[in-house]
Amino acid sequence: MKSKRNVYLKMKTLEEAQEILHGSFAVSDVLAIETIPVPDAVGRVLAQPIQAKLSSPHFNAAAMDGLAVKAEITFGASQTAPKTLMVGRDVFYINTGHVMPTGTDAVIMIENVLVLDDTRIEIDKPVFPWQNVRKVGEDIVATELLFPQNHRITSYCVGALLTGGVFAVPVKKKPKILIIPTGSELVDWRSFSIENFKPGQVLETNSFVLGSLIENCGGVYSRHNMLLDDSAKIKQAVQAAAKEDYQMILILGGSSAGSEDFAKRVILDLGQVFVHGVTIMPGKPVVIGTVGQTPVFGIPGYPVSAIIAFEQFVRPLIHRMLGQPDDTGETIQVEPTRKIASKLGVEEFLRVKLGQVGDRIVATPLPRGAGSITSITEADGIIRIPTHIEGINDREKVSAQLLRPLPSVLRTIVIVGSHDNTLDVLADQIKARHSRLTLSSSHVGSMGGLMAIKKGVCHLAGSHLLDPQDGSYNVSYIEKFLAQVDVKLVNLVLRDQGLIVGRGNPKSIKGIEDLARNDISFINRQAGSGTRILLDYRLNQIGIDPADINGYHHEEFTHMAVAVAVLSGTVDAGLGIHAAAAALDLDFIPVVTEQYDLIIAAEHFDSENIQLLLEAVNSRQFKRRVDALGGYSTEKTGEIIL
C-alpha cells in the first residue's frame, strides 16, 4: 500500500492543547478502589477520608521520669517553705510513658525532688495540673480525621495510621497505562549485539524511560512488544488495549508529519483526534486523541521530545486521575552566560546547566536537539522561552525550573571553554573525593572561555591558545583580553594534538599538508577554539589557503565529536587530541605537544570549592588516571604559571 504523507492538523499552543486535554477527559471515579495494609500503602493515594479508631495516647501517661502526684497538694511549696510528701501515699515513683496512678494529674521531675529517705521526699516548688503528663488523646483523638481523600501516604503517615488503630486503607488503584513502541528501525537492547547493529537502527529506550516516569507519578505500565511501521498492526494493538482495563495508551513514535508515522491515522480510524501538533520545541509532533473513553497519545520518537510531551500532557492527566496537583518543581531566577536565539511562534524548553558564580546563578545552554538525551541527564534546569520572543540576552534574568535540588546547584563549579577529556576525569575525581561537589563544564572554545571569565559567568576556563609569535600558550591572550581581570593560570596537562584518521590510515595521510588534497575530507573545530587557532597557524606556516581544504568550514565543538565523525566515515581526518583517537581506536598523526591550562578568576581562587578542585588536580590518583589515557603528560600538572 502506498504511504500517504501525514500532515499536521492546525497546531495548538501549549495552553490551548492543555485546555483541550483537560476538557476532553472526565477523570473523576475512573480508578477503582482497593484496600491494602497500611505498611504497603506508602506512595498510594487515599480513595476515602480516614478517621482514627483509637486515641493516642489512650491513657494518661507520664511525660517525664519522676513522681506522680495530685497537683493541688504541692501548692504553696517554695524554697523558704518546702513541702514533705509521703511516697506511696502522696506521691508515686513513675517512669516516662507509664500509666498515671488513679487520682494523680501531674509529675514532679526527679531532678526537682530531694529524697529524705525511703518514704519521704521534699519539694521546694509546686506543679500545676497535667504538668509533665501526656493526656488521653493528646496526639490523636478517636474519630478525628487523620487524612482526607486524595492524600498521598508517606512513610510518616504509616505511624499515624497504625497508632490511630487503622491497619488497612482504601486507595485508588494505580492508573494502568499501555506503552506501544513502534518503528521498523527499533532494536531491543535486551537482545542487542554490537556486531549486528546496522546503520539506521535505533535502540528502543523511550518505553523504559516513560515507564519509569509513569511509576514516579503514581501509575503502573505495561509494555507492548515493539511493532513495525504497520498501521494495521498498530491499529489492532490499540483497539485491543482500548477494550481492556487501561486508563491510557501511549503510541511511541508515529506522531510526526512523516509518511511512515501512523499514530494520528490509527487514532482517527478508531476514535477522535483532538490535537496534532503543539507549538513547543521539543515535543511539537504530539498527538492527543481518544478511542472510546480511553485517552490515546501519539508520543514523538526523539527522546527529549518524548519526555517533554509526557511531562506536559501525560503526567498532568495521571495526576488528575489520582486527585494530585501537578507540581512542576521549584523555579529560580538565572542569568544566561550568552545570548540565546529562539524561534518566534514556538515555545522552547531549553535545557541548561546551572551554577552560582558570585551572587548570581548562571545558566549555560545544552545542545538543543530533540534526540540529545544527555541534554536532559546533564541539565540542572529548564528555561521556557515564550512564543512571542526571539530569544534571551546574556545577563537577562529569566526563570528556570529546577531539575535538581537548589543546594546541589549552589555547590557546582562552573568551567567554560576548551574541551579536554581530562575534564571528565577531573569531574569524576572531584565527585569521588567530595560527593557534595559537582564540576559542570561547557565547551565553547578557548576564546569563549576567556570571554566567559571576562563577563564573570564562570569560575574558571579551560584554554590552550597558542601565541604564534613566541610559541607560548595563553599568557599573551590573558594580557590582551583580560587586562582588567585578575586571574590565576594553572596548568592542567600537556597533551599531544594531531590528525585523527581512520584505523590503518586508509588515505595515507602524513601531515597537515595533506589536508589540501582533493581526495581528503576534513572536519574542523569552531572558530575561537585553540585547536582552530593551531590549525590556522600551521596552514599559514606551510602556505595553504583554508579555502583549499574540503571541510574547513564544517565545525564540531569537542575532540570526541571530531573523532566520532572520523569513525563514522563522515570525514577522513580531523585535528584533535591523541586521547580522543585512542578512545575510539583510531590512528593518530602527531602535530604538536601543547599546553592546556585552567584560567581561574582570582576572586574565586581561594574559595573552598576551587581549592578542593586544585587538591584533586594535584592528587596522585588524577595524574595516574590521566597518564593512563595516553597522549598526555602530567609533569607540569597543578603548577601555577601566573
Burial of 2 (0-12, 13-18, 19+ CB in 10 A): exposed
Give the count of beta carbons closer than 10 Å to the beta carbon of residue 265: 18
Give the count of beta carbons closer than 10 Å to the beta carbon of residue 503: 12
Closest by CA position to 287, among listed 307, 263, 269, 304 = 263
Q: Where are the beta strands (DSSP E) in 61-149?
A: 61-62, 66-69, 83-86, 91-94, 106-109, 114-115, 120-123, 133-134, 145-147
Residue pair 280/348 in contact (Cβ under 8 Å)? The answer is yes
The span from the CA of 469 to the CA of 271, in Å, is: 72
| End-to-end alpha carbon distance in the chain | 71
DSSP-assigned states of every residue in 493-509: EEEEEEEEE-TT-TT--
Burial of 384 (0-12, 13-18, 19+ CB in 10 A): middle
Residue pair 612/433 in contact (Cβ under 8 Å)? The answer is yes
CATH code at 331-429+438-451: 2.40.340.10
- The fold of 61-134 is Molybdopterin biosynthesis moeA protein; domain 3 (2.170.190)
- Does CATH number 3.90.105.10 belong to domain 461-633? no
- pLDDT tens digit sequence for 86-130: 999 999 999 999 999 999 999 999 999 999 999 999 999 999 999
Does pTM top 0.75 for this prediction? yes
- Joined grid coordinates for residue 351: 535545557
Residue pair 162/42 in contact (Cβ under 8 Å)? The answer is no
Q: In the prediction, which pLDDT does 442 show?
A: 87
Residue pair 597/449 in contact (Cβ under 8 Å)? The answer is no
Give the count of beta carbons closer than 10 Å to the beta carbon of residue 133: 21
Residue pair 242/210 in contact (Cβ under 8 Å)? The answer is no
The span from the CA of 4 to the CA of 258, in Å, is: 9
- Does CATH number 3.40.980.10 belong to domain 14-28+175-322? yes
Q: SS3 for 286-341, per residue?
A: CEEEEECCEEEEEECCCHHHHHHHHHHHHHHHHHHHHCCCCCCCCEEEEEECCCEE
Q: In the prediction, which pLDDT does 5 show?
A: 46
Evaluate the CA torsion angle 401, 404, 409, 413 in order and state its sign. negative
Show Cβ contacts of residue 74 under 8 Å, excluding neighbours closer than 6 positions. 83, 85, 106, 108, 123, 125, 126, 127
Query: Looking at domain 33-56+139-172, which CATH architecture does it have?
Result: Alpha-Beta Complex (3.90)
Q: In the prediction, which pLDDT does 8 show?
A: 53
- pLDDT tens digit sequence for 131-179: 999 999 999 999 999 999 999 999 999 999 999 999 999 999 999 999 9
Would you kindly state where each structural domain of the chain is located, as residue ranges?
14-28+175-322, 33-56+139-172, 61-134, 331-429+438-451, 461-633
Residue pair 220/326 in contact (Cβ under 8 Å)? The answer is no
**Residue ranges, the chain, pLDDT below 70:** 1-9, 254-261
Mutual angle of helices 14-24 and 315-322, in 10-degree steps? 40
